Structure 1
Amino acid sequence: MTRPAGAGGPDDAGGSDGPDGPDRAEGPLGLPDGPDRPDDPDTAEDLIAFTEERAPEEPVERRARAGRGRRALLLLVGGGSAVLVAAGLIGALALFGPLMAPDDFDGKGSVPVVVEIVPGASAGQIADVLVRAEVVASARSFVNAVEERGKSGSLRPGRYLLRKRMAASSALDLLLAPQSKIRRRVTVPEGLRAVETVARLAQGSGLAAAELAAVIAKPDELALPSYAKGAVEGFLFPATYDIEPSTTPRDLLRSTVRRFKRAAAHLNLEAGAAAQRLTPREVVVIASIVQAEGGRDSDYPKIARVIYNRLASRAKLEMDSTVMYGLGKHGIVASLAEIKRDTPYNTYMHPGLPPGPISNPGEAALRAALRPATGDWYWFVTIDPERRITKFTDRESEFVKFREELNKRLGQH
């Protein structure tokens, strides 16, 4: 905030559960055809008794051996409302094959989902991961698909882009397809400026920094919100992004803007800005200052309140972070010489908010800008930047004391 309260510099985050699976198909229920079928049994007990009274002319010992060979299968459904009798284990398995098949989805799935296979995972362990991610309906269906194709040795560790509610065979197809494997992942921390975000994306994705910068130079291609006014600063959302083999620089940068829009929708940014009598862009500007100045998430709403209080009193914001941004520099303290340099972002010289965001804020900073804490604070000083300790006050004498404490810590006497 007021010199040397600034604490600039960056620090650094998506599906929804699918619907229940389809009804399970069940095989037909019936009685074996042939002369042994009872004419008109009245109850389930009659059917069971009938099977026990077959071949009365045979000796008891022979009937016992034959019984062990056949092993009649009795299936009671609905508390005895239906009974299935099958004489012979092979015949029973053939009849009940459809009932014993594992659950499986149909088709190629719907919602994209990223699944990670760790080194050394067996087909069964991979199947469990797929079930938890709602990719396949059952572990058995996937294991069966692997065994039928003899592909257990072809599954490789890595991160894969699959879809929820896939047939097990379709899921296996994608796990075996090179284009499904996510090659890289890059995390963009909160508070980076646009040029730093481009550098971080280039480093983590393997895409050329020059190509990413060329896309930034054409903001109309990024589907920015209308209130961004064609500027990318503030709207390249800090989060973790998966880089697929087919990802282009334009795809990647559009995904950062799309992620900002998701956060804005989640926070109801436009309505919240109207409630504060601000434009959505002004809220993003405040959030960017909060992000640059703040040390801890818990301090963000208080920093936002200081900004609101100063705007309400028509005082200058006097934020070192904006001064340093205008000069293309970083640092927690602007020198007297830097404060005297006139740029549109010098809030020691110019009243009100700077002309645009000074960083790309995360969701916590955006939330704080929409919902500032309640208080009369007018100054704040980050007295211990290393431990991110910030003190707030509504008295100038205390502010001077905090500033001296910071100067002493920094060795500035």
Structure 2
Amino acid sequence: MNIENLLRETLSDMADEERPPAPERFLQYREHRPLRRRGLTLVAAASAVAAMAVGSTVVVQAVSSQAPGDVAARQTRASSPTSESRTATVTVAAGMRLSQVFRTLSSFTGRPVAEFEKAARDGTALGLPSYAKGRLEGFLSPGTYKLSPTMSPGEILTAMMARFSKNADLVGGARRAGRTPLEILTIASIVQAEAGRLEDMPKIARVIYNRLDRRMPLQIDSPVLYGLNKYGKKATLKDVKSSSPYNTYRRSGLPPTPIGNPGDDAIRAALKPASGPWLFYVATDPRKGILKFAASHADYTKLVDEARQEARKLVE
């Protein structure tokens, strides 16, 4: 966007860093959390997960920076103190990447991540729909699952896929929206990564649709970071010059796959975006996660000026 070079230089002078992205990329500053996420050309957040066994109690904890769907530690006591019989509830937070889910499940079962990766490659056995094109990313419904660590990786992933198949009615909804089911899931995954508040999800989806309809590049950082297997609050200049198929700065259209596993709210937003002419959104107050939307460069520039003032406050 035309104003971004000026903003990068301004923030670089302020923070003494290598030309950071424009301040509208800093969404959802959340105190007491180690990671943050942003809106259009904003941050895709990482999720931290941990699992531990204490006697007959297994605690599986997932800590996500997603604004909707934050999860807390959960405990389940098995009927027997033996490790073979213990069960636990494993929570998959909305927006978690497949790689993060695998690490969570590996911590819970003690099985290597590679075993889950191998099981994920057999989409037919897992029940993946044909439109998934053999890729599991985006098809593991967020939620809480009661699992046994003695289950095989294939059994665990099949159980998780069963919930998606039961709850998701994408084919008809995608047809009504004029998109394929995979496109809807991809849009929903971006919405999930970008939104700081539930009420912003339908508007973010509309921005994506409007830019796609005008064949404008999305210029969103979260897919860029996903394609590079990176986490953080911004994509660097080097990142946005990458040849990754997920680089929404250099490539038009949607990324080739979802960039995480979206929740129901994000899927609903992708199926029924809000009505509006918006082409931009800016985090005008990163500390509160407030997004404002613009339909023209003139209005966008005003929002950037507003965000710029807030950015100055953050570094003063």
TM-score w.r.t. the length of structure 1 is 0.55
Aligned residue identity for 1:232: L
1:272 and 2:184 aligned: no
2:228 maps to 1:228: no
Whether contact under 8 Å (1:205, 1:243) holds in the other structure is no
Name the SS for the 1:390 alignment partner: strand
Q: Take 2:267 and 2:156, find their aligned partners in 1: how far apart are those partners?
A: 22
2:201 is matched with which residue?
Answer: 300
User: How far apart are the structure 2 equivalents of 1:289 and 1:183?
Assistant: 33
Q: Please tell me whether residue 212 in structure 1 is matched to residue 248 in structure 2.
A: no
In 2, Cα distance between the equivalents of 1:283 and 1:381? 23
Q: Alpha-carbon deviation of 1:177?
A: 11
Q: Distance in 2 between matches of 1:247 and 1:391?
A: 46
From 206, 211, 216, the counterpart of 1:315? 216
Report the equivalent of 1:366.
267
Describe the superposition over 1:373-396 as per-residue Cα deviations: whole angstroms up to 9, x where unpaired. 111111012334443222111122
Contact 2:245–2:256 at 8 Å: present in 1 too? yes
1:42-121 alignment, distance < 5 Å: none
Higher relative contact order (CA 8 A, sep 6+): 2
Change (3 A) 1:404 1:186: farther
Which of 280, 283, 290 in structure 2 is aligned with 1:389?
A: 290
Identity %: 41
Distance in 2 separating the partners of 1:206 and 1:403: 48
Secondary structure of 1:9's match?
coil
| Matches for 1:175-194 after TM superposition, within 5 Å | 183-194=87-98
1:201 equivalent to 2:102? Answer no
Question: Which of the pair has more CA radius of gyration?
Answer: 1
Query: RMSD across aligned C-alpha pairs, in angstroms?
Result: 3.1
Report if aligned partners of 2:211, 2:218 keep a CA contact under 8 Å in 1.
yes
Alpha-carbon contact 1:7-1:385 (below 8 Å) kept: no
The size of the alignment, in residue pairs, is 253
> Which ranges of structure 1 fall in alignment gaps of 5 or more residues?
13-156, 161-174
Runs of 4+ with deviation above 4 angstroms: 157-160, 175-182, 404-408, 410-413
Counterpart pick for 1:357 among 238, 247, 258: 258
TM-score between both structures, scaled by the size of structure 2: 0.71
Q: Is it true that 1:409 corresponds to 2:311 in the alignment?
A: yes
**Which among 337, 360, 366 is matched to residue 238 of structure 2?**
337
Matched, 1:242 2:146: yes
Q: CA deviation at 1:305?
A: 0.5
Give the whole-Å Cα distance in 2 for the aligned partners of 1:285 and 1:412.
35
Aligned-partner Cα distance in 2 for 1:388–1:252: 35
Instruction: Give the distance between the partners of 2:201 and 2:253, measured in 1 at CA.
Output: 19
Alignment partner, residue 165 of structure 2: 261
Report the 3-state secondary structure (helix = DSSP H, G, I; strand = E; otherwise coil) of the residue aligned with 1:364.
helix
Cα distance in 1 between the residues matched to 2:84 and 2:304: 55
> For residue 277 of structure 2, what is the aligned residue in structure 1?
376
Paired AA for residue 90 in structure 2: V
Shift of 1:313: 1.5
Q: CA deviation at 1:398?
A: 3.0
- 1:123-151 deviations in Å (ceiling 9; x for gaps): xxxxxxxxxxxxxxxxxxxxxxxxxxxxx
For structure 2, list consecutive stretches of 5 or more residues without a partner in the other structure: 5-21, 26-39, 49-74
For 1:152-172, what per-residue CA distance to the aligned partner results, in whole angstroms no more than 9, with x for missing partners? xxxxx9557xxxxxxxxxxxx
Deviations 1:71-92 (A, max 9, x none): xxxxxxxxxxxxxxxxxxxxxx
Distance 1:243 1:10, change over 3 A: same
Tell me the distance in 2 between the aligned counterparts of 1:9 and 1:292.
7
Relative distance call for 1:342 and 1:383 in structure 2 (3 A) is farther
Return the letter of the residue paired with 1:409.
A
Q: Whole-Å Cα distance in 2 between the matches of residues 319 and 365 of structure 1? A: 16
State the secondary structure of the residue aligned to 2:238.
helix
Residues 176, 340 of structure 1: alpha-carbon distance in 2 compared, 3 angstrom cutoff: closer
How has the CA–CA distance of structure 1 residues 402 and 229 changed in structure 2, closer, same or farther, with 3 Å as cutoff? same
Q: Determine if contact 1:291/1:300 at 8 Å carries over to the other structure.
A: yes
In structure 1, how many angstroms separate the alpha carbons of the residues matched to 2:225 and 2:152?
A: 33
